[in-house]
Structure 1
Amino acid sequence: MPSSAPFGVLAVAVASILFAVNGTVAKLAMQAGLSPTRLVELRSVGAAVILVTVALVVLRGRMRLRRHEIAAMAVLGVIGMAFVQWLYLVAISRLPVGLALLVEYTAPLLVALFARFVLGEQVRARVWWALGACLVGLALVAQVRAGVELDVIGLAAAGGAAIALATYYLLGERLVARRDPLSTQAWSLAFAGLFWLALQPLWTFDAAILADDVALPGALAGVTLPLWALVAYVIVLGTVVPYTLVLIGLKIVGAARAGLIGMIEPVAASVAAWLVLGEAMTAVQLVGAAVVLAGVGMAETARRTPESAVLPDTIAV
């Protein structure tokens, strides 16, 4: 496997684009009749089967889960994976994809603030600039002013996704300090899949809906795909492949740099949603998005703790 820095950058960049497109594909799947809970269940279970199988073959004995790790891994899977994905899907079902992702993307800022006030870590002063930039940028993106109505549930879901993702970063950081990232990711998806299977067993799902045809809008008008093809994208190209690319990128360029490269994701997600779903952003919103990304960039480098292999922002969706 190539180990040069350009290859690592390319791996994370491609993963970011795949994750970004995944938001539009997931929204099309939900518009075609899948609920957010059912789609995230199919995604979690399908991705878990693939990644756990790969990890068992590649890692062999290193997949073993120690007794003291079970509770933490379960929380990582349920909060850090199942809830992040479900809340994000709820958010994009009620908000433009770009806005939902920008709100969720403030997770690194929440991590830096938690590290400062709860963990007592030394945090660079730029965190306050990051906080101000994110708040101002989000206000511009949401165009908060008199007469503008926002979907409260959608915004709450996006904010909840940011909190759940921050939990994933913090807990994942502790776990990967003692075990490899691939087995950690595989186990987290396994627990997420088990959570959804217990909540809504697969036998309650009418799989016949997956054969329904979905007419694609926007730049893809005239193209029709079966719903199962969209779900397959969410599982394979929206989860398994980008997660693997992120792991490769992390090994080569490190967590902090991978996180900054991952800022491609909200930009690419907005472009994809504009081309296919017609979710255009105004000039003011574009300025706000740039301000948010600048704030996230500052937050990514605010902590003084050593880098670890925790997965960066691109894994959220």
Structure 2
Amino acid sequence: MKGVLLAAGGASLWGGSGAAAQYLFSRTDINTNWLAAMRLLLAGALLLLWSTYKAPHQVRALATNKKNIFYLVMFAVFGMLNSQISYFLAVKYSNAPTATVIQYLQPVIIIVWLAIAERHWPSRLDNISVVVALIGTFYLVTGGHLNTLTLTPRAILWGVWCAVAAALYTLLPRPLLEHFDALAVCGFAMLLAGVCIIPELFIHPVPHLDLLGWLLIAYIIVGGTMFSYTMFLQSMRYISPAVTGILSAFEPLVATLLAVTLLGTRLTVAAVFGSVLILLTTVIQAIPMDRIPGLHHLTKKEPWN
């Protein structure tokens, strides 16, 4: 129960940050890059301070080894920074529910990438996931009609790139996560990514916000980043990665509920249907089919001839 609450709570905090960002982009003059810089710098610093307190030897090892630094820089620029900015831009040009759901296309991108990199055909389960995700994307983007688009080309572009960035975010830190605590790796990467775009804090003026606006920024940094990362990663101590992956669906669920009830976002039946199919991809990938009698053949991968 503790693991379930931590995973669901962390994913919910993530989803809430998407709705908070949608409010800021639609009702204030805040710049996306300025907000990304604030989030990365402050959340990264907080996570790194916490990691230094909990495991100082790991932080020291990450900061003093050239190979580790190389992996950190790659993860920070192409994973962390890329995913943060593309997600905010996807929210800005569409809405929090749509951006969050499209981000969940990342399993499909990872399936294709690993098939090419490891030179094997996707398993039957992976093929099912790809087909389900593509059908869901079709309904989300077109509303079920071939001659119309329910999203602008800019929203589609940043949404798809957000999914690509999320895939890079998942793949790039794998060599580091085999040896180091995830909080230390994420804290370092966030801080490095924030340093890369420090000029954005000076290029763009400080936004004119009321108290609610500043509270939402504080929530995005502390609740939607630091606490969400900490809770979600801590949940893996108590429950399996498969259950954690399924519970990550709370992120788009909370983003949708907040956007619809508080921000007046309207979703069509086709958009909801497409969103459910895309999220179903994550559930399919999270279920350990290889451990279920009679279904293990679904996960078998054949090498290229």
Range of TM-score over shorter length: 0.7 to 0.9
Distance (Å, rounded) in 2 between the aligned partners of 1:61 and 1:25: 36
Output the amino acid matched with 1:25. Answer: A
Taking structure 2 as the reference length, the TM-score comes to 0.87
Change (3 A) 1:189 1:253: same
Aligned equivalent of 2:185: 184
Distance (Å, rounded) in 2 between the aligned partners of 1:175 and 1:108: 20
Q: Say if 2:26 is the partner of 1:25.
A: no
**Contact kept in structure 1, 2:48 and 2:183, CA below 8 Å:** no
Please report how far the alpha carbon of residue 205 of structure 1 lies from its aligned counterpart in structure 2 after TM superposition: 4.5
Question: Which stretch of structure 1 is more off in the superposition, 114-123 or 12-21?
Answer: 114-123
Q: How many residues align?
A: 284
1:166-245 correspondence to structure 2 within 5 Å: 166-197=167-198, 199-200=199-200, 202-207=201-206, 209=207, 212-213=209-210, 225-245=211-231
Distance (Å, rounded) in 2 between the aligned partners of 1:245 and 1:188: 18
Q: Say if 2:248 is the partner of 1:262.
A: yes
**Contact kept in structure 2, 1:108 and 1:166, CA below 8 Å:** yes
Structure 1, unaligned runs of 5 or more? 1-5, 214-224, 305-317
- Where in structure 1 do 4 or more consecutive aligned residues deviate above 6 Å? none
Distance (Å, rounded) in 1 between the aligned partners of 2:32 and 2:144: 27
Aligned equivalent of 1:59: 55
Distance (Å, rounded) in 2 between the aligned partners of 1:170 and 1:303: 22
Tell me the C-alpha RMSD between the 2 structures. 2.0
Q: Say if 2:106 is the partner of 1:111.
A: no
Residue deviations 1:108-158, cap 9 Å, x none? 221122222212468531111111101111111221522445311111111
1:77-116 correspondence to structure 2 within 5 Å: 77-116=76-115
Structure 2, unaligned runs of 5 or more? 291-305
Please report how far the alpha carbon of residue 268 of structure 1 lies from its aligned counterpart in structure 2 after TM superposition: 1.8
Aligned equivalent of 1:34: 30
Q: Percent identity?
A: 22
**Contact kept in structure 1, 2:102 and 2:163, CA below 8 Å:** yes
Please report how far the alpha carbon of residue 255 of structure 1 lies from its aligned counterpart in structure 2 after TM superposition: 2.7
Change (3 A) 1:78 1:131: same
Distance (Å, rounded) in 2 between the aligned partners of 1:269 and 1:129: 26
Change (3 A) 1:86 1:303: farther
